[in-house]
Amino acid sequence: MSLDNNKSENKYCKCIHKNVNYNKVNITLYDNEKITLVNCELCQEGTKQLNLNNAVICLCGSMFCIDHIKQHSKDNVDQHNVVAYFGRDHNDRFHCLKCENNVQIVDKDIVDINDLIDAYEMFYNTSLPRQLDQSNRVILDQVNVDGIVKYIQSGQCKNIVVLTGAGVSVASGIPDYRSPKTGLYNNLQQFKLPYPEAICDIDYIKIHPELFYTLAKGIFPGQFKPTPVHYFIKLLSDKGLLLRDYTQNIDTLERIAGVPESKLVEAHGSFNGAYCTVCQHRYSDISIIKQHIDSSTIPYCTVGECIGKSSLLLPNIVFYGDSLPPIFNRCLLQDFGVNNNTTPKCDLLIVIGTSLKVNPIASMINFAQHVPRLLINNEAVGCPSTHPSDYTVVSNGFNFNNQQQYNDVHISDDCQKAVKDLIEKLNWTNEFNNLINKSI
């Protein structure tokens, strides 16, 4: 089914994520629910403000107004063809960019959509300036590393959330993305990309898979070993102190270090499996891709109707334009969610080796304002920005200068060194060394 092809309709029917014009696009959601969501690229009128009763979360990660879907779906009752994507630059409020009519077609009972709404509700609330709830706050004796060490040793701290990025794997030989000289995005001239992030953009990869696969050869798991930071996270887990390890990294080094799967959220996916971009068939064994990477050829799907066709296979990585895995939303709710005035489970957040430039991960630090937050990074990141176009930096981010209001500590150093120092202060050095020796 397609929408009318007259001009006024056309402009609402280009999918910014799937690069499809005007026709229906069936995006398979997790749990095998099907819904058609095509993002509206050009819709820029109107300012209806979203509230959480009328907000709907597109599984591509965008937020939009329910009325808006209804309006544009009225001729396509079985498909939700058009949504507006949320405006992120209006004082941290989301706006539906256009909405008028009401035709009830949206199935609010879609499996997991409630989880998603809840998760995004947290994003929504915390991205608004708000008073810190002083009564439920954990206060450090000293807002510095010694204060963090004392807190961990006190026994009060039992549910540590660790959030990591590419900086923790640099010592293993994998470059990060944004470091000025060595970062991946600054060393892609050979690929002649329109912009550096294109190498991680699903639409671009579908057109130029050879570029992604050239890159993938250099970073494919098997060539790299976990670093002290990875073993520190494993040690926290062994000590029963790790609530969750959210990693943006796709290198699987947390798994190799032995962080249990139940504690791990690979928020940007990993090389731990593959899928067909056409029929969505899942391959649990990544070797289907590995063989092609080794021979510098492109892997295509080998099942069903895709046999003999150029149906591209990709590893289970979350590219720009993809949704985050459902486990991310579920764990976010479990670890930071609040029901009936309970305090969130997380009682210490440790952020290591990330620029906090990519949402929704970057906004996670908002949820831990009530507890001490430790940043281990060679530059200060995640601080509220005054720059209007910088929407990735969260409004309630780190504040290393206001010790009365915030328990934020920054160790500005190489993360491997900083973690070893921290382990020493915690008197965990022997156990740490044993752990590493056992793993070699």
Query: What is the set of active-site residues?
Result: 268
Nearer to ligand OAD, 79 or 248 (CB): 248
Q: How many CB atoms lie within 10 A of CB 193?
A: 16
| Site pattern 260..279 for ligand OAD (x: CB under 6 A) | --------x-----------
State the Cα–Cα distance between residues 346 and 153, nearest whole angstrom. Answer: 16
Phi, psi of 328 (to 5 degrees): -60, -50
Phi, psi of 9 (to 5 degrees): -75, -40
User: How many Cα atoms are found within 13 Å in the side-chain-facing hemisphere of 16?
Assistant: 18
Among 58, 161, 166, 259, binds ligand OAD (CB under 6 A): 166
Burial class of residue 339 in the structure, from the number of CB atoms within 10 Å of its CB (0-12 exposed, 13-18 middle, 19+ buried): exposed
State the Cα–Cα distance between residues 189 and 187, nearest whole angstrom. Answer: 6
Establish if 167 lies at the interface with ligand OAD (CB under 6 A). Answer: yes
State the Cα–Cα distance between residues 177 and 381, nearest whole angstrom. Answer: 15
Establish if 202 lies at the interface with ligand OAD (CB under 6 A). Answer: no
By CB under 6 A, the residues from 297 to 336 that bind ligand OAD are 318-320
Establish if 196 lies at the interface with ligand OAD (CB under 6 A). Answer: no
Among 92, 414, 421, 431, binds ligand OAD (CB under 6 A): 414
Q: How far is the CB of 168 from ligand OAD (least distance, A)?
A: 8
Q: Which of 119, 9, 101, 12 is nearest to 55 (CA)?
A: 119
Nearer to ligand OAD, 357 or 420 (CB): 357
Nearer to ligand OAD, 24 or 357 (CB): 357
Burial 77-100 (b: 16+ CB within 10 A, else e): eebbbbbbbbbbeeeebbbbbbbe
By CB under 6 A, the residues from 97 to 126 that bind ligand OAD are none
Structural tokens at position 411: 């160790």
Radius of gyration of the chain (CA): 23
Q: How many CB atoms lie within 10 A of CB 14?
A: 17
State the Cα–Cα distance between residues 311 and 209, nearest whole angstrom. Answer: 11
Structural tokens at position 174: 């994998």
Establish if 390 lies at the interface with ligand OAD (CB under 6 A). Answer: no
Among 183, 258, 273, 326, binds ligand OAD (CB under 6 A): 183
Establish if 382 lies at the interface with ligand OAD (CB under 6 A). Answer: no
Nearer to ligand OAD, 106 or 436 (CB): 436
Among 67, 176, 245, 254, binds ligand OAD (CB under 6 A): 176
Q: How many CB atoms lie within 10 A of CB 283?
A: 19
Q: Could you tell me which stretch among 2-10, 28-36, 350-358, 388-396 binds ligand OAD (CB under 6 A)?
A: 350-358
Nearer to ligand OAD, 354 or 369 (CB): 354
Establish if 377 lies at the interface with ligand OAD (CB under 6 A). Answer: yes
Q: How far is the CB of 178 from ligand OAD (least distance, A)?
A: 4
State the Cα–Cα distance between residues 429 and 437, nearest whole angstrom. Answer: 12
Establish if 246 lies at the interface with ligand OAD (CB under 6 A). Answer: no
Establish if 381 lies at the interface with ligand OAD (CB under 6 A). Answer: yes
Contact residues toward ligand OAD (CB under 6 A) are 165-167, 170, 176-179, 183, 197, 200, 248, 268, 318-320, 353-355, 357-358, 377-379, 381, 414-415
